[in-house]
Structure 1
């Protein structure tokens, strides 16, 4: 069915693309891209992709975005400096679309295994949490635990069960710029306000040798001036040979790009981070670091790096060596291990304010889907009280109703408590087990379940 749906799109794309130079990618000559001199690979095409969207009025200018973001970043920094910001780990629900053309599931072809996908999620959690005892840990004083965790979606857009891996056979199509943007993404994207979309495919044509690129966030600007923009392309797309980690799963990977850091880098872009050198070959430093990456705690650096064999210092008149270990440089995967505190502030500002980013933090699609329904349970058969909860939440059932278990979820959709109901003592839940905030409880019986929302003060 999908193959039939895309046939017209492919024909139209071919007509529109006819006569265009294959040396152009996102409107820029590929010879002008920053390319690894050893491997010929292009680490990232996000900057060029963003500029093309801006030219086509699908993205606001860099200045508009930064003017919108700056006060929000400063507010977060002040709270961090005052040590009044609460430690809250945000969960981002992920769907990984594995795009193939009928190949068997394996790690030597584009239809990669579930295990390889999950190895990538493991790396993301290690990197964004600065997890002790993993390659994502660093002992740098300005290294930051971003306090973001990634989970695989458990509910698909239709409300059914999923493992968060969406395998799609789109046939023998060359995934060049036009086909990716006009066919692949729009045909397969899940609601980007509820799912963070990651696509894994084999690039070809003008995208050959590119590792990946991301859609940069946007401001919640005034409609008609700039933003918010609708999008059927929002997310991150990565060549399968740069996806996952051979620390966990073997198979075919690009040389030196085998630890999952392409996804870390591109998701950094999707959450508002820029390349550490700022894409402008300048050593100039000002109070906002606007000549570089808008993160004053990353050292001045005027170019990208592809390894960490030596200590580079491309701006010797400024303090510090180049931070080749930063996820937003172009270094080999084994080099990377740090986000800084200022980078964290930018990410948090984006997640709290940017369209299709802020809504991700309240999505519930990582919660277990409901496997039974409420049919057969009358409105007064089960109840909870009091609401709001001050000390204890009580579960009540009419005589003859056999309660089996309950599960409690917080506002992020995370399961915070579950229990089998074996005696009357199990019908009383202390607020100490929950904390304060908004919650949902699902109470299961022999006939089905009942769902309630409640507040703990």
Structure 2
């Protein structure tokens, strides 16, 4: 969330847009908005590969493998959703979004790696600017430093940096994708942020935070690896943390669901600040 916090500090208009979006989301939730009845929307998507080495210049097949994975995740057609614990099976929800690859750009750089300062999104700092970010989701695939898997810009931020950045070792399901992040779930997680989802623990370590979603239990912090259910924190027993939610930090094979209330948040973002994508 470091990139998100930096934008909030630097851009008052972004803070204001986020507040308006939260208010709209709350009103929808209170009035019983039924996200399951909205039309299915196809998001035009651009992949910007920024590479220094031949290995980092990932193949078209690897790119296609990412789209196959995340289209299943966002339509809740992923077979592993059946692993959802019984108390939450009824919450597993179809976001009614799908993604179509319309353009791939390839940019060779002299930089060995990028951080969360958006350098990969600017030609002057070794990257490439987004393609029509108001109407297209831009995904940058590159080497990221510090063990970072990816990061995203929330709705309402500057167009010049809008989109999602993914480590080339955590993109897709073949090629350079490395276990335990080789099932395409890093992109699923980060695109969740792009559509205004927060981490399920609310980004605080003491049970005081909130992801502003009513059907994800409060939890003390991120889960890692492949936990055994239940993991009880913050007095959230008997079912515990929803660590199989895409917005936790578990391994790719351990996450496999969005909830109904998370879908409302994403649909609200799409209907407002992300409306140009429709």
Q: What's the C-alpha RMSD, in Å, of the aligned pairs?
A: 2.4
The corresponding residue for 2:198 is 274
Cα distance between partner residues in 2 of 1:236 and 1:86: 27
- Among 233, 236, 252, which residue is 2:176 paired with? 252
Change (3 A) 1:347 1:199: same
More helix by share: 2
1:272-421 to structure 2, matched below 5 A, reads 272-284=196-208, 291-311=209-229, 312-316=231-235, 320-354=239-273, 357-361=274-278
Contact 2:121 2:128 in 1 (8 A): no
Contact 1:137 1:338 in 2 (8 A): no
Equivalent pairs, count: 270
1:131-150 to structure 2, matched below 5 A, reads 131=77, 134-135=79-80, 140-150=89-99
Q: Give TM-score, length-normalised by structure 2.
A: 0.88
User: Per-residue displacement from partner, 1:258-286 (whole Å, max 9, x unpaired)?
Assistant: 111000000000000000000012435xx
Change (3 A) 1:151 1:272: same
> Cα distance, 1:64 vs. partner?
6.4
The corresponding residue for 2:8 is 54
Contact 2:129 2:160 in 1 (8 A): no
Unaligned runs of 5+ in 2: none
The corresponding residue for 1:180 is 120
Contact 2:218 2:234 in 1 (8 A): yes
The corresponding residue for 2:135 is 194
Structure having the higher Rg: 1
> Cα distance, 1:211 vs. partner?
0.7
Contact 2:170 2:182 in 1 (8 A): yes
Cα distance between partner residues in 1 of 2:126 and 2:272: 24
User: Structure 1 residue 237 and structure 2 residue 173: aligned?
Assistant: no
> Cα distance, 1:192 vs. partner?
0.3
Greater relative CO, 1 or 2 (CA 8 Å, sep 6+):
2
Q: Give TM-score, length-normalised by structure 1.
A: 0.55
Contact 1:127 1:137 in 2 (8 A): no
> Cα distance, 1:71 vs. partner?
3.1
The corresponding residue for 1:38 is none
Cα distance between partner residues in 2 of 1:192 and 1:166: 14
User: Per-residue displacement from partner, 1:229-271 (whole Å, max 9, x unpaired)?
Assistant: 54211100111000001xxx3x333331111100000000000
Change (3 A) 1:185 1:74: farther
User: Per-residue displacement from partner, 1:185-224 (whole Å, max 9, x unpaired)?
Assistant: 8733101012110000112xxx331111001112xxxxxx
The corresponding residue for 2:44 is 93
Change (3 A) 1:58 1:236: farther
Contact 1:186 1:233 in 2 (8 A): no
Cα distance between partner residues in 1 of 2:93 and 2:191: 16
Cα distance between partner residues in 1 of 2:13 and 2:206: 25
The SS at the match of 1:141 is: helix
The corresponding residue for 1:399 is none
- Among 62, 65, 71, which residue is 2:18 paired with? 65
The corresponding residue for 1:165 is 104
Cα distance between partner residues in 2 of 1:58 and 1:273: 20
Change (3 A) 1:186 1:316: same
User: Structure 1 residue 78 and structure 2 residue 78: aligned?
Assistant: no
> Cα distance, 1:67 vs. partner?
4.9
The SS at the match of 1:188 is: coil
Contact 1:301 1:314 in 2 (8 A): yes
Change (3 A) 1:152 1:113: same
Cα distance between partner residues in 2 of 1:189 and 1:341: 31
User: Per-residue displacement from partner, 1:363-408 (whole Å, max 9, x unpaired)?
Assistant: xxxxxxxxxxxxxxxxxxxxxxxxxxxxxxxxxxxxxxxxxxxxxx
> Cα distance, 1:76 vs. partner?
5.5
